[in-house]
């Protein structure tokens, strides 16, 4: 497994990371719990070292499951989790609002350590910026937690350039996690230059466009009402029909290499910067192996130029989230 350093912090992880959010939140949803635990261990066996969860996934049930999965391989993995929501530490009931007050962060971290059954959180993210709490207070609280040995590295998720700079001035931010892919390229304008300037690594989530860039979804695909994508404007039938042009473009590139669209999409991100580690999710071993195959795909300069020209000619249709969630992904 290829390794990458996330910025200048010294944190080195596998070149691809596994996001565990899709393995169920509410304990009642994890009907295949044993299979998902095994999948996490299978990923580690294949060299994946960075695993991502959050207290909000459930809340709590996902962290508990990830903790059980990594117990026998703790010394081989880097565990990332996230605070930042108004979740009752005892009941797990969430108000659905952000909350990064220092006392809430401390309560959240104590709960994370117990649920994950670890002594230290390797990478501790703020899940979303809290407009009511200064970034200096958030970074200062995390600095104290790192000093206490409860965490090792500080990360932000979906933060804007101003928030990143303010937090980093108080305590070094090691990693930013935000959505980035061939159909979500907004970070290129302002975020990536700031990360490069400050020596911060980037862990983009949804690098496969929530499955769309795999080529397995088209206008005729039925999305169940329980599937979150059914509520995303970008997955509306008319948007899917227009956005398929992007998939067909990367499919053509992949055919020259005997690679799938998913592998091309991941290889494209890997080629952007050496300090980027895409974070993908899957519930199936064969998809895990397919995605890891992207590490063997070396896109040529001509391939990359074709993708750049082709994607520039395609206007992606639909917002990446419903309106209410777009407000929460603010900066």
**Largest Cα span, the chain:** 55
What pLDDT does 65 receive? Answer: 94
pLDDT band at residue 176 under the 50/70/90 scheme: very high
pLDDT band at residue 23 under the 50/70/90 scheme: confident
- pLDDT tens-digit readout, 131-172: 999 999 999 999 999 999 999 999 999 999 999 999 999 999
What pLDDT does 226 receive? Answer: 86
Contact 1, 260 (CB under 8 A): no
In the predicted structure, residue 8 carries a pLDDT above the cut 70: yes
In the predicted structure, residue 328 carries a pLDDT above the cut 70: no
The CATH class of 3-209+272-297 is: alpha beta
In the predicted structure, residue 27 carries a pLDDT above the cut 60: no
What pLDDT does 28 receive? Answer: 54
What pLDDT does 330 receive? Answer: 53
- pLDDT tens-digit readout, 225-282: 989 999 999 999 999 999 999 999 999 999 999 999 999 999 999 999 999 999 999 9
Q: How far lies 249's CA from each of 216, 220, 252, 285, in Å?
A: 14, 19, 5, 26
User: Do β-strands 12-14 and 121-126 pair in parallel, antiparallel, or remain unpaired?
Assistant: unpaired
What pLDDT does 229 receive? Answer: 95
> Percentage of the chain with pLDDT > 70?
96
Instruction: Give dist(CA 138, CA 258) in Å, integer.
Output: 47
- pLDDT tens-digit readout, 282-296: 999 999 999 999 999
* pLDDT, average across residues 194-207: 98
What pLDDT does 250 receive? Answer: 98
What pLDDT does 323 receive? Answer: 85
What pLDDT does 325 receive? Answer: 80
What pLDDT does 306 receive? Answer: 98
* pLDDT, average across residues 197-221: 97
| Nearest alpha carbon to residue 65 among 96, 28, 15 | 28
In the predicted structure, residue 26 carries a pLDDT above the cut 80: no
Contact 51, 66 (CB under 8 A): yes
What pLDDT does 287 receive? Answer: 98
Which of the following is catalytic: 57, 153, 171, 180? 57
Strand order in the sheet with 175-177: 201-202, 175-177, 151-157, 121-126, 78-83, 50-52, 17-19, 279-280
Q: Has 180 been annotated as catalytic?
A: no
């Amino acid at each position: 497994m290829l390794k990458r350093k996330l910025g200048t912090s010294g944190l080195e992880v596998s070149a691809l990371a596994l996001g565990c959010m899709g393995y169920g939140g509410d304990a009642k949803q994890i009907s295949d719990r044993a299979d998902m635990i095994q999948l996490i261990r299978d990923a580690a066996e294949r060299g994946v070292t960075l695993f991502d969860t959050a207290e909000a996934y459930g809340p709590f049930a996902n962290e508990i499951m990830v903790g059980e999965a990594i117990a026998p391989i703790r010394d081989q993995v880097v565990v990332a989790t996230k605070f930042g929501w108004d979740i009752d530490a005892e009941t797990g009931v969430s108000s659905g609002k952000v909350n990064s007050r220092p006392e809430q962060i401390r309560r959240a971290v104590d709960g994370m350590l117990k649920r994950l059954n670890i002594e230290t959180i390797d990478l501790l993210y703020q899940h979303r910026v809290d407009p009511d709490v200064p970034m200096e207070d958030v970074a200062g609280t995390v600095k104290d937690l790192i000093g206490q040995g409860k965490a090792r590295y500080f990360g932000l998720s979906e933060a804007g350039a101003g928030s990143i700079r303010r937090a980093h001035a108080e305590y070094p931010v090691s990693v930013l996690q935000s959505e980035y892919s061939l159909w979500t390229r907004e970070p290129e304008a302002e975020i990536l230059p700031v990360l490069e300037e400050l020596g911060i690594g980037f862990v983009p989530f949804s690098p496969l466009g929530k499955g769309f860039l795999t080529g397995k979804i088209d206008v005729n695909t039925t999305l169940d009402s329980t599937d979150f994508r059914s509520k995303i404007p970008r997955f509306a039938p008319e948007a899917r029909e227009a956005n398929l042009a992007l998939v067909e473009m990367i499919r053509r590139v992949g055919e020259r290499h005997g690679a799938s669209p998913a592998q091309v999409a991941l290889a494209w991100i890997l080629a952007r910067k050496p300090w980027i580690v895409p974070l993908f999710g899957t519930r199936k071993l064969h998809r895990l192996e397919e995605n890891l195959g992207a590490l063997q795909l070396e896109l040529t300069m001509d391939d990359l130029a074709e993708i750049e020209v082709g994607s520039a000619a395609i206007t992606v249709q639909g917002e990446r989230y419903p309106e209410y969630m777009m407000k929460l992904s603010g900066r």
